[in-house]
Amino acid sequence: MMKIYDLIIIGAGPAGITASVYAARKQLDFLVISIDVGGQTAWSGEVENYTGYQFISGPELAQKFEEHLHKFKTPLKENEEVLALEKTDSLIRVKTSRSDYQAHSVIIASGKKSRELMVEGEKEFKNRGLTYCATCDGPLFAGKVVAVVGGGNSALDAALQLMKIAKQVYVINNTAALTGDAVMQDKIVQATNTTIFNNTLVTAVLGDKFVNRIKIKNRNQQEELAVAGVFVEIGLVPNSGFAKGVNKNSQNEIIVDARNRTNIEGVFAAGDVTDVPEKQIIIAAGEGSKALLSAFHYLSRNNFSD
């Protein structure tokens, strides 16, 4: 007979880990299922706005989260992708790439994933010079010429990391001006090894075994830039495709109320996968705690018997 958990938490980023810490303290019988631990935090560069840390890198903060997770001996199924979620009567079934699980409640904290360029050469050169993580792969391009695609905070964060190690950094932005924080813009503009291309699109990624150039288009004028690396930072899309019956907005973010409830009773959601405004590490962590407390109250009121 399949085990029935009180709660399954999908995702182990800031929201999922915080929910799991609260679940452990409430002594729930729960399980965490996630592809990785740390989520987008592990991909971040410098973090200067997380309370309690005047400065910490994203990977360091993700490590702190993971240490907190393991302190409670949290049951974790890592490297498992959730494929489907379905509620029948009082049970919610979660199907993954490896197995099936069931619980009386679920918190979806699956975060977001990088948006793709959808241009020629992107798939062919993924991990062969094209990447979505400057923190992970930046050191591989020391002394080389690279391009960062995007103009928001994610792109500027990547550019700030890369300009310290790369020979030259091109910032390819499709809008009239950069949209990231002013302090980040100032640092990039003042750098001697960065060049900004506004109103510019990347139309192709080219190379042989590895990337060696990109095609860009600006006001109907096309040219090629010789680069060894391409860092795609054009935003994120929610990891919500598996939640078929859950209401979502036009961006596929899961719609939640102030108590992190979805339209399905017993299914809660928290963090970047939801429609809560401002995608920040500290906000995701707070939403994770709220979602767990709501799930705990739901379980307490219903007195499920297995």
- Which residue range is the domain that position 188 belongs to? 130-232
pLDDT in tens, 3-24: 999 999 999 999 999 999 999 9
Asked if residue 227 and residue 163 are part of one domain, the reply reads yes
Question: Considering the domain boundaries, does residue 125 fall inside one?
Answer: no
Question: Considering the domain boundaries, does residue 123 fall inside one?
Answer: no
We report the CATH number of the domain holding residue 150 as: 3.50.50.60
Asked if residue 244 and residue 151 are part of one domain, the reply reads no
Which strands make up the sheet holding 221-226, listed edge to edge? 200-207, 211-218, 221-226
Which residues are known to be catalytic? 133, 136-137
Asked if residue 220 and residue 167 are part of one domain, the reply reads yes
pLDDT in tens, 139-198: 999 999 999 999 999 899 999 999 999 999 999 999 999 999 999 999 999 999 999 999
Asked if residue 215 and residue 144 are part of one domain, the reply reads yes
- Number of domains observed in the structure of the chain: 2
Asked if residue 22 and residue 66 are part of one domain, the reply reads yes
Asked if residue 70 and residue 9 are part of one domain, the reply reads yes
Parts of the chain with a pLDDT under 50: none
Question: Considering the domain boundaries, does residue 218 fall inside one?
Answer: yes
Enumerate residues 6+ apart whose C-beta is below 8 A from 193: 163, 166, 167, 168, 169
Residue 236 is predicted with a pLDDT of 87
Single residue among 232, 250, 280 that ends a domain in this structure: 232
Question: Considering the domain boundaries, does residue 87 fall inside one?
Answer: yes
Question: Considering the domain boundaries, does residue 246 fall inside one?
Answer: yes
CB burial of residue 43 (10 Å; 0-12, 13-18, 19+): buried
